[in-house]
Amino acid sequence: MLSAWALAGARRQLHSLGAQIYVRYHSSQVAAGSPPPHESTGPRKRHRVSTLNPSLITPADYIDISQRMGFTVAFPGATVNGPQHEFPYVHEYPYSSNHPEQLPFPRHSRGFLYYQSDPQAGPLEGGVRLRVTPNNSPSSFPGGQDLLTPYGLPWQISLAQVACRPLYAPIGVQLVNETLVTLDQLSRCRDIFTSRASLAPQYQYTLFSLASTFPVNFAHPITLTVVGEELHELELSMMFTASAPGCKRHFPWSGSAIAQFEPSTLHAGRVLHLRILKIVNPVAFAVDSESYTGQILRPKEGHLFRIIDRHGVPGPWTYDIDHRESKIAAAFQILWENSTMPSVISSNQERIFPPGHFSAFSESSHFV
């Protein structure tokens, strides 16, 4: 069980990170003054990339995939007439499976492909990302920003996808050749993830620990996958719903955000809250505001998600792991056990959001 010091430290670290994520790249300094992007039409260009190790990149590894529906890469040793696979940006927005849409890479998608991992993270948590930089100088890499998805989290080809999908097999070969990952890591990914039919869409988020962040849509349930010795589905179907006399349960709010589970400092034992780190799409009423009973309080950026309990008392949503026996409790238990506070939360936040993606918010807004 985590000590009170560790829990308090974790909370302070989470609060100090703030919740300002740099989502609108089109107005960023990285994008400003850039040359006109490539059009998505025309012959496909096979980008030659010599390394996925950020410490070894050269100017020749700089690629521009702006406004492309996908891109192809040739690593060292690839034959000229070898198979070419297009790596996509985003196939569709979360929770909108009725109207899938493949999106092109944004206008600012120029930079270096690299394998992102962290020594303090789990061995299966890495992924290939695009570090957006203003020019092809390797010295610009540290000051660049990872390309984001429309949901506010970094675009990446996860290690699980590399291990399990033939599309990404060339990436796996390159990672092993550069000793960035091992064959054992890829084999372990296949053992765990092969049974996951929904592995392909990158936006169906996988959590490894309490440090993991994920997108939420306030008009839909939360559905996630937790990784332990095996996969655990974490579905909170009633999370954002409210009820009223004579009415079915409904979602009173629309909008989306980036969120994270965190250990409670208000309760003893293994109790979790949900913190809204960043509002991505504005929160608005999805029902008649005059008739709304207020069971689900308006989600606020930087604050814990709050509800009104059955006694009419407002407070943060809580989940007591040790007093529940369900698939949800089992999934949360894995997240808790995978977490070492506060160091993992600190390091994972820095991995997920490179410098420049956060700005501290005022001390008065740190508390619920």
Q: CA 79 → CA 46, 70, 71, 189, 350, distances in Å?
A: 12, 20, 17, 27, 37
pLDDT for position 220: 92
Q: CA 204 → CA 95, 112, 188, 201, distances in Å?
A: 9, 25, 20, 6
The mean pLDDT values, 10 residues at a time, for the chain of 368 residues are 41 35 37 41 73 98 95 83 75 53 91 91 91 98 95 91 91 96 95 67 73 93 91 92 79 95 92 96 86 86 94 93 90 90 40 34 25
How many angstroms from the chain centroid is the CA of residue 48? Answer: 27
Rounded CA gap, 36 and 159, in Å? 32
Rounded CA gap, 283 and 184, in Å? 44
How many angstroms from the chain centroid is the CA of residue 347? Answer: 15
Closest CA to 25 of 137, 139, 138, 133: 133
Residue 364 tokens, joined: 């008065």
Per-residue burial over 8-25, b = 16 or more CB atoms within 10 Å of its CB, e = otherwise? ebbbebbbebbbbbbbeb
Coil, helix or strand at residue 146: strand
Domain locations along the chain: 34-200, 207-358
pTM higher than 0.85 for the full model? no
DSSP assignments along 200-261, one per residue: S-TTS-EE-STT--EEEETTS-EEEEEESSSEEEEEETTTT-EEETTEEEE--EEEEEEEEE
Q: CA 35 → CA 64, 107, 140, 324, distances in Å?
A: 11, 10, 17, 56
pLDDT for position 289: 73
169: which residues sit within 8 A by CB, 6+ positions away? 162
- Asked whether the beta carbons of 111 and 62 are under 8 A apart, the reply is yes
Per-residue DSSP letter, 347: H
How many angstroms from the chain centroid is the CA of residue 179? Answer: 25
pLDDT for position 99: 56
Residue 66 tokens, joined: 């702006």
Coil, helix or strand at residue 59: helix
Q: CA 314 → CA 8, 178, 260, 263, 306, distances in Å?
A: 23, 53, 20, 19, 7
